[in-house]
Amino acid sequence: MSRDVEVQRKRGTFSSLRVLGAALAVLIAIVVVVSALGPKEGAAAPGVVVGEVVVGGRSEDDVRQSLTTLAAELEKRELLLVRDGKELSVTLGQLGFALDVDATTAAVLAVGREGGLKGAMQSLNRTRIDVPLVFSLDESAMGELLPSWEHALIEVLPFDGSVELKDGEIVAKPPNRGHKLDGPALKKAIEAQLAWGKTAPITVPVIEVVPPLTAQDVERAADRARAIVQGPITLYYTPTDEEIALARQENEEAAKRRADSEQREKQRLPKKKSRMKRKGRRLVEDKESTKQPSRFPMPEPIEVVFDKEALRTAFRAKRIDDPVPQFVVELDEAEVKKKLAPVVSKLYDAARDARFEISEDGKVTIVPSRPGTRVDPTRLVEALYQATLTAGRRGPLPVDKNAEPKFTTKAAEALGIRGLVSEYATHHSCCQPRVKNIHRICDMLDGAIVKTGETFSVNAAVGPRTLERGFLVAPSIGDGEMTETPGGGVSQFATTLYNALFDGGYVIRERKPHSFYFNRYPMGLEATLSYPSPDLVFFNDTSAAILLRCDYSETHIRVRLFGDNGGRRIDRRVSQPFEYTDPRIEYLANKNREPDDEKVKDAGSHGFSVITTRIITLPDGSRKEEKRTVKYTGKPRLLEVHPCKIPKGEKGHTGEKCPDPPKEEEGGASGG
């Protein structure tokens, strides 16, 4: 009995599977049929509407054209904004409306092509299918329009309050709460409508704004302003005995330095010390250090009277939010400077930066910085107000006697420059254009500071060598050949700096030797320079900054590097030349030269190789050896020949045959 039941159960399962399979087959058939009836390739599905424009069944080009027309029409369409019975209109073009025709066309053509049963049934169902527009609005354009919309649509706007000077009197206006447009919410409401091409009136969303200040806050600021502008206020300054003594001492020291400098000039003696001051990222000669003692003004008592007219002219008031919201009374800085101008020279003593003094033997000492004396404009209003609380409306002028310099003693000491690390000099002939270029780049880099961990590029620091920037046209090497360029000759500076860096044990990251050797440079230890490449780049891996000093005469250039390389000792070695090569020949065509007659325009030079070695010995005795093979290709030998003599494959070869030599005519006896 149980066996019959099992048989019946299996027969029922097979029957159900047959029914399910038949149903799936029918469904697949429906999908295939419906898909065949779906949108045509390259056309919109039936019933598609975009921005109230019917595009169903149209080709891609027709859809794109319809959207382009719609975009132009929408830009001119007006949108009505309403609030509390007020209204205004704005065109979509004013809002920066921009329809993305390509993206919207793609969205239209995607309808009915989703695949599967859903896509097939959607294609079969030919009822209306709305597709949203793809567009953007210009937020900056809306931002510019919002203030005018607020004034047109909102009854009460928020007001922060004000303190103003009208007809010579201080007038305080209290703050009040109000409403302002909710820009993000309004933009979202506009976008929601435009997505479907609709421009129904939009109720403008607003937010309530409560000013951070009260009427009492504004009135307190007004009382302060009235106290200041109602009448004359006198601010005074009386120097201390210590300040007078310090100024006198500085004047005496300045006079002594000047007298010493003038005496050495008369005797044609070199300077005892070179004094350098900070200028940007460089140190420059402090030529003002020997000026007349009048450079240091002797402090004297002064008074400044701010009359009613001056105070009212300079009066300003505004709300600030940092550190807390408040109204502040200010005086216009330009007006205050006019008033203080007559006494500034009597009071002002500029803060003095720290300086470096370099002695003849290369030792570096720091001349300490010194705070300056100046009127502190940030405390001036408070000083005026405090003076109004006195019977005579008098008070001390806010003088800052500790105005910090830009380059302090601490900052100078942090550079760690102790003395001369290395120097190198090269020589040249006098009075050539290239010498002017060498001097120009030397002046531009003299005093450069390279801090610990910094990489220094000569090309980045100097920039292009152009006539406008003071360089002259002079011989240089380009692509292995001699040529004339602005800045020709600056490689001599690069070579001089390279050797100073080499002897200082500094890391040289980029350097390229010349194509052929010049005997004015050390063999294998020289560098070429052009813009933008090749460059000379080095890295400061020491604990002290590098100060680059460069000086020159009509026949030499010298680079000195000051800093502290940690006691590294350098040994330089250069091998004997090897692998000599003959100079390659370059031909110069000259039709006026006989085929059998050639002229040597430049004998050229042999090529060869050398191995340079730098051995760096550290204070702990460890050594690092750096080797490099430098290969000189040699200067070409220049031959001037008839064009027919230029071999095939050489520049200038024409293939023409050499003319036959002229025949000699037989001479007859002459009678006399």
More confident residue, 476 or 98: 98
Lowest mean pLDDT among 49-63, 126-140, 247-261, 625-639: 247-261
Q: Report the mean per-residue pLDDT for the chain.
A: 83
Dihedral sign for Cα atoms in the order 366, 368, 374, 379:
positive
DSSP code of 516?
Answer: S
Give CA separation, 26 vs 16, 19, 20, 23, 37, in Å: 15, 11, 10, 5, 16
The yes-or-no verdict on residue 133 having pLDDT over 80 is yes
Sheet holding 355-359, edge to edge: 364-367, 355-359, 273-279, 282-285, 448-450, 546-552, 556-563, 419-427
The yes-or-no verdict on residue 672 having pLDDT over 60 is no
Q: At 629, give phi and psi (nearest 5°).
A: -95, 125
Q: At 563, give phi and psi (nearest 5°).
A: 165, -135
Lowest mean pLDDT among 68-77, 267-276, 490-499, 640-649: 267-276
Question: Residues 119-140: what's their mean pLDDT?
Answer: 77
CB atoms within 10 A of CB 498: 26
Could you give the CA distance from residue 556 to residue 355 in angstroms, rounded to a whole number?
28
Look at residue 38 in the predicted model and tell me its pLDDT: 53
The yes-or-no verdict on residue 420 having pLDDT over 90 is yes
DSSP code of 667?
Answer: P
Could you give the CA distance from residue 35 to residue 116 in angstroms, rounded to a whole number?
9
Question: Residues 41-46: what's their mean pLDDT?
Answer: 86
**pLDDT above 90 covers what percent of the chain?**
39
Look at residue 51 in the predicted model and tell me its pLDDT: 87
Is residue 88 within 8 A of residue 152, CB to CB? The reply is: yes
The yes-or-no verdict on residue 292 having pLDDT over 50 is no
Could you give the CA distance from residue 406 to residue 564 in angstroms, rounded to a whole number?
24
Q: At 209, give phi and psi (nearest 5°).
A: -120, 130
Is residue 295 within 8 A of residue 336, CB to CB? The reply is: no
| Burial of 226 from C-beta contacts in 10 A (0-12 / 13-18 / 19+) | middle
CB atoms within 10 A of CB 449: 21
Look at residue 279 in the predicted model and tell me its pLDDT: 63
* Cis check: omega of the bond before 534, within 30 degrees of 0: yes
Query: Treating both helix axes as pointing N-terminal to C-terminal, what angle do 139-153 and 183-194 enclose, rounded to 10 degrees?
Result: 110
Task: Name the band, by pLDDT with cuts 50, 70 and 90, for residue 273.
Answer: low
DSSP-based three-state secondary structure for 662 = coil
Q: Which of 241-255, 262-276, 462-476 has the highest mean pLDDT?
A: 462-476
Could you give the CA distance from residue 369 to residue 392 in angstroms, rounded to a whole number?
39
Q: Report the relative pairing of strands 129-131 and 48-50 from DSSP bridges.
A: parallel
Is residue 79 within 8 A of residue 92, CB to CB? The reply is: yes
Q: Report the relative pairing of strands 302-306 and 206-209 from DSSP bridges.
A: unpaired
Look at residue 126 in the predicted model and tell me its pLDDT: 56
Give CA separation, 300 vs 90, 253, 305, 349, 390, in Å: 67, 20, 17, 12, 24
Sequence-separated (6 or more) residues with CB below 8 Å from residue 509 = 455, 537, 538, 539
Look at residue 158 in the predicted model and tell me its pLDDT: 94
Task: Name the band, by pLDDT with cuts 50, 70 and 90, for residue 285.
Answer: low
Task: Name the band, by pLDDT with cuts 50, 70 and 90, for residue 40.
Answer: low
Which ranges constitute the DSSP H helices of 446-587?
Answer: 458-462, 491-504
Sequence-separated (6 or more) residues with CB below 8 Å from residue 85 = none
Task: Name the band, by pLDDT with cuts 50, 70 and 90, for residue 216.
Answer: very high
Beta bridge partners of 484: 475
CB atoms within 10 A of CB 510: 16
Task: Name the band, by pLDDT with cuts 50, 70 and 90, for residue 26.
Answer: very low
Nearest to 509 by CA among 562, 559, 459, 557: 459
Nearest to 589 by CA among 533, 645, 632: 645
What is the C-alpha radius of gyration for the chain, rounded to an integer number of angstroms?
A: 44
Look at residue 37 in the predicted model and tell me its pLDDT: 46
More confident residue, 664 or 78: 78
Could you give the CA distance from residue 1 to residue 5 in angstroms, rounded to a whole number?
7
Task: Name the band, by pLDDT with cuts 50, 70 and 90, for residue 571.
Answer: very high
> Count of alpha carbons within 13 Å of 504, Cβ hemisphere only?
32
The yes-or-no verdict on residue 671 having pLDDT over 50 is no
Which ranges constitute the DSSP H helices of 132-279?
Answer: 139-153, 183-194, 215-229, 241-266
The yes-or-no verdict on residue 665 having pLDDT over 70 is no
More confident residue, 325 or 35: 325
Question: Residues 635-647: what's their mean pLDDT?
Answer: 84
- Longest CA–CA separation in the chain, Å: 164
The yes-or-no verdict on residue 201 having pLDDT over 90 is yes
* Cis check: omega of the bond before 513, within 30 degrees of 0: no
Could you give the CA distance from residue 244 to residue 265 in angstroms, rounded to a whole number?
32
The yes-or-no verdict on residue 5 having pLDDT over 70 is no
Is residue 537 within 8 A of residue 455, CB to CB? The reply is: yes
What digits encode the pLDDT tens for the residues 427-467? 988 888 888 988 999 999 988 899 999 999 999 999 998 88
Question: Residues 293-302: what's their mean pLDDT?
Answer: 66
Task: Name the band, by pLDDT with cuts 50, 70 and 90, for residue 668.
Answer: very low
What digits encode the pLDDT tens for the residues 371-417? 888 888 788 888 888 988 898 999 999 888 888 888 889 989 999 99
Dihedral sign for Cα atoms in the order 439, 443, 448, 454:
negative
**pLDDT above 70 covers what percent of the chain?**
84
Give CA separation, 672 vs 385, 666, 669, in Å: 127, 19, 10
What digits encode the pLDDT tens for the residues 316-333? 888 888 888 888 888 887
What digits encode the pLDDT tens for the residues 69-121? 999 999 999 999 999 899 999 999 999 999 999 999 999 999 887 654 555 55
More confident residue, 16 or 416: 416
Sequence-separated (6 or more) residues with CB below 8 Å from residue 323 = none
DSSP-based three-state secondary structure for 319 = strand
In angstroms, the first-to-last Cα distance of the chain is 164
Query: DSSP characters for 405-457?
Result: PSS-HHHHHHT---EEEEEEEEE--SS-HHHHHHHHHHHHHTTEEE-TT-EEE
Sequence-separated (6 or more) residues with CB below 8 Å from residue 672 = none
Task: Name the band, by pLDDT with cuts 50, 70 and 90, for residue 30.
Answer: very low
Look at residue 461 in the predicted model and tell me its pLDDT: 92
What digits encode the pLDDT tens for the residues 579-620? 998 888 888 888 888 888 888 888 788 889 999 999 999 999
